[in-house]
C-alpha cells in the first residue's frame, strides 16, 4: 500500500488516507461506527456526511494503523455491510485517495451538520430500524417457543393422560384388594 507521508506526531512519521464511501451510509450510524474503529487504531482525522449522499473519511496516523483501517474497510466492502449490529450501513463501496498528511487533527472527530433536525433524524431513524429488527427477532423466538410448547404438549400430554388412567386403575385395584371389615 502506498501512502503519502508528511508530518509527524511526536517522533514518528504519519500518513494520510481519504476514503469516499458510497452506499446506504447516511442516517444509519455509519459515522459513529467509523469513528469508533478509527479511534481503536489511534488514528486522527474526521468523518462526515457529504451532500451527495456519500461519507468522507480522512485518516492520519502511523502507516501500520492506516493499513489496518483499510483492511477493516475492505472487509465491510466485501460483505457489502457494516460488521456491527448498531450500524445499519449496506451496499458499502469506497474509493481511497492517498494525500499528504497535515498533522492538523488532534483526535478523530465526527463532523456533524449544522442542522439539529438532520442529526436527530439520523439517530432516531437508526434506532427505529434497530427496534424493528429486534421486534422481528422477538416474534421469531416467540413463534419457535410456542411451537416447542405445542410439541411438548403433544408428547407429554399423552404421557400425562396415561399416568392419570394408570392412577385411576391402581386406585380401583387398591380398593378391591382392601380387606373388608
- The cell for 106 is 488532534
Residues 72-97: pLDDT tens digits?
899 888 877 776 666 778 888 899 99
Residue 43 has pLDDT above 90, yes or no: yes
The CATH number given to 5-112 is 3.30.70.100
For residue 179, the SS3 value is coil
Whether 8 shows a pLDDT value over 70: the answer reads no
Query: Catalytic amino acids?
Result: 31, 49
**What are 111-147's pLDDT values in tens digits?**
987 776 676 666 676 667 667 777 788 888 888 887 8
CA separation, residue 67 to residues 16, 45, 52, 83 (Å): 11, 15, 27, 18
Amino acid at each position: 500500500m502506498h501512502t503519502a507521508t508528511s508530518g509527524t506526531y511526536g517522533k514518528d512519521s504519519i500518513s494520510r488516507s481519504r476514503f469516499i464511501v458510497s452506499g446506504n451510509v447516511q442516517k444509519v450510524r455509519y459515522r459513529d461506527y467509523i469513528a469508533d474503529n478509527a479511534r481503536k487504531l489511534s488514528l486522527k482525522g474526521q468523518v462526515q456526511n457529504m451532500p451527495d449522499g456519500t461519507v468522507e473519511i480522512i485518516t492520519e496516523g502511523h502507516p501500520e494503523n492506516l493499513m489496518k483501517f483499510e483492511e477493516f474497510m475492505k472487509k465491510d466492502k466485501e460483505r457489502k455491510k457494516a460488521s456491527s449490529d448498531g450500524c445499519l450501513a449496506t451496499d458499502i463501496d469506497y474509493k481511497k485517495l492517498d494525500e499528504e498528511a497535515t498533522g492538523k487533527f488532534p483526535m478523530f472527530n465526527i463532523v456533524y451538520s449544522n442542522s439539529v433536525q438532520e442529526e436527530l433524524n439520523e439517530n432516531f431513524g437508526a434506532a427505529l430500524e434497530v427496534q424493528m429488527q429486534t421486534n422481528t427477532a422477538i416474534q421469531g423466538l416467540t413463534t419457535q417457543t410456542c411451537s416447542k410448547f405445542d410439541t411438548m404438549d403433544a408428547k407429554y400430554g399423552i404421557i400425562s393422560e396415561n399416568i392419570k388412567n394408570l392412577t385411576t386403575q391402581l386406585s380401583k385395584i387398591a380398593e378391591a384388594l382392601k380387606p373388608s371389615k
